[in-house]
Amino acid sequence: MNQRTSNILFNIGIAFLILGGIGLTFMAFFTFIGLPIFIIGIILISLSKKKIKTKIIWIFSMITLVVLFWPIWIKINTEKPETYLIPENYSGKIIIVYGEDCGIEPLIENGRRVLEIPNNGILIIKPEFEGGIIDHKYYFVNKNKERTKIERYENDSDRTQHVPGIRLIGSGGIGGIMIDGSSSTESPLAIRYTEFEVYQDTLTDYNSKEEQKFDSLMKDIVNECRN
């Protein structure tokens, strides 16, 4: 290997190392791609004829930066920790409506926002929705305020192992009227929410009529709150 080829390998290796490092830190979804790129960068740098000291400095400096920055990135991109307190016999959909002046200001317990779900399953709060890595804890609460942890499942196959359990369905919005008469989730009148499904001892399938009924109830409660 001549010096020119060695320099090319080294420079490409550095580029891969930096690109892979960015993928491993700033973009969590890029981790599975970022790691192979990072490893290729290490291999290319190792194959070059640069001094061992130079190789070690570059490789271990990038590894150190990734290791040090990863927990910082996690901290920055994790939404405010939340604890959900759900009536012990509740089953069905839960909706948290965010950013409403008429909503409640949740209590803070040990640094976690406590969301006490009412019997109708719809909670309206003042804080705006914050996207990011979730840090949730879920509990059933009885009349004596005793808590029982609820397992969270990720998909339909998982829920057969976690009953009772809870599933985070996702976040969304219902459009509000704009000045031009159109409807948009950017409207000040839009409803922004996150929804969950709570299961007790049975698993239920999607029911469009029940979904529509619950969504209609949610809209009525939000409108009543606003007025």
Angle between the N-to-C axes of helices 3-25 and 31-47, in degrees from 0 to 180, rounded to the nearest 10 = 160
Bridge-based pairing of strands 122-124 and 151-152 is unpaired
pLDDT digits (tens, 9 = 90+) for 145-197: 899 998 887 665 555 566 688 888 888 888 777 766 677 777 777 889 999 98
- Measured distance CA(35)–CA(33) in Å, rounded: 6
More confident call, 184 vs 64:
64
Contact call for residues 123 and 100 (beta carbons, < 8 A): no
Q: Does residue 204 register a pLDDT over 70? A: no
* Start-to-end CA span in the chain (Å): 77
pLDDT at 115: 95
Would you tell me the crossing angle of helices 3-25 and 52-77 to the nearest 10 degrees? 20
